[in-house]
Chain A
Amino acid sequence: MAQELPAFRSRQEGPVETDCWPALSGVELGSQARAPESAPFAPSHLFIRPEKVILPEGVVTPATSTSQPLPNSLVGTNTSDRTQEAMLNVEGLVRGVIVKVPRLAPPRTRSEILQQWEGEVRTVDADEFTAVIRDLGSAHAPEEEVTLAREEVSDGDLQLVQPGAIFYWAVGYRISPGGQKTRTSELLFRRLPAWSRRQLERAREHAREFERVLGIR
C-alpha cells in the first residue's frame, strides 16, 4: 500500500528545497531526515520522522536496501505549518512508513531567494493590510512598514490575516528547467497553535506574580 505524503510545496509549481527556508526561528519539528542522495527522487519530497523508512518496491534501486536507515541530519528548521501537517501524517502511520515518490527525478524548477523578511500584521482593511517587516538577512537593517494587497495572500491563508499574525515573505526568482527566470513574491502565514486551556491556566498563575509586583495582592 503506497501512501501519498503531502510534500511541502510552495505556491509555485514544483518542489521547494527546504534549505531555502532557513532562519524561521522557533520550533524545531524534530528530525527531518533527508533521503540519501542516491535515491532516485527529489529529496525534498520526504519529511520523515522515523529512523527507518521502507521504500516501496519499484522505487528502490539496487543500490539501496528496502530497510534504508536515514541520516538524522536536519534539513533546515522549517516551521512551516505545511511541514508540520506532513510530519503529523507521518506520525500517524505505522513505523516503516511507505512513501510514494516519483520514480524519476522530474526536471526541477528551482527557486532562488533574493530577499526574505519576517512580518507582523498591524492593521487589516477590506482589501489591504499593513505590516512591519524585518529583514531576515540583516539584523541591523531598520524595520520597514509595508502595505500589501490581500490578494497577495493565498486563499488558504486569507483567514489568518489578522492583527498580530506573523508571516514569512520571500522575494526571488523561479527558474524553470530551461533556465527561464520569473520574479516571485511569496507570503506564507504562520498557523500558530491555538491557546489551550492549560496555557491559559498557566498564564493566569503567572499573572499572580505580576499582581504581587503591581501591589494588587
Chain B
Amino acid sequence: MKLTIPAFVGRIAFSALAALIGAIFALPLLWFLFAPFNARAELGLALPDPWTLNNFVTVFGNSYAVQALWNSFIQAVGGVILVGAAATLAAYALSRSSIPGKGAVTYILLLFSSVVSGSAAMVPIFLIVSAAGLMDTHLAVILTFAGGLLPTAMFILRDFIDSIPKSYEESAMVAGASPVQAFFDVALPVIRPGIVVVVVWGFVNIWGSFLIPFILLRSDSNMPASVAIYSFYSEAGTPIVTLLAAYSLIYSLPVIVLYLFVSWKFGFRFFGGIKA
C-alpha cells in the first residue's frame, strides 16, 4: 500500500501528538520511580545523581512508619478474609437457592453499600463504633470495611457463580456428596478465580483508604500507612519529599506484587462450563 504525502504527514503528526500525551501521563510515574533514589529529591522531575538508597534507610529507621505498614497489612488482610468468606457463602446461597425476592435483596444491598463506606455515613459509623467500644482498634476498621465492601463483593461473585452450571454440584450430590461436601469439593474450586478477583479488589480498597482509619483510629501505633504518610511533613507543614517518595514506593509495592501474582497464577481469566 502506498501512502499519499498528506496522509503520511497526518500520520506522523498524529503519532507525535499521541506520544506527547503519553509522556505527560508518564511524567508523574517517572518521578515516582526516580525520586525515592534521589538524596535531594524535589517535586520537579530529575534523574538521581548519585543513585542512593539512603531514603529507604531513613524510612526503615522510622519505627512509626514501619509499624504503619504492618497495620495496613493487618487491616487489609483481616478485612479481605472477612469479605472473601462472607461474600462467597452469601453469593453462593443467593445464586443457588430459590429464595423468593433474592434479586431485590441483592440490589438493595448494593444500593446501601455505596452509602456505608462513603463519607455520608461517617457520623453514624463513628457513633456505632464508639458505642461498641471498638474505637482505636484494628477490628473497627476491619468490620467497617467488611460491611462496606461486602454487598459489591457479593454482587460480583453472584454473577460469577450464576455463570457456573449447577450440574457440577448436582453431579457431586448424585454421586453421594452432602451439600457441604459438594460445595467444598466441587463448587469452591470452580468459584476460586472469582473469589481471587474479589479479594484483590478488596485488598486494594482497604490498603488505599485514608478516611475511615483516620477517623476510627486514635493512637499512632494503630495507624495504617495511608495515614502515616502524613508524618513525613516538617513542623512547618512542608513535605519531606525524599522520605515521602521512598515511603510511597514501598507502600505501592504490595498492590503491584499482588497484581503480578494473580495475573501469573490465574491470568485474570475465568473458567467454568464445558470447554470443547
Q: Do A and B come from one complex?
A: no
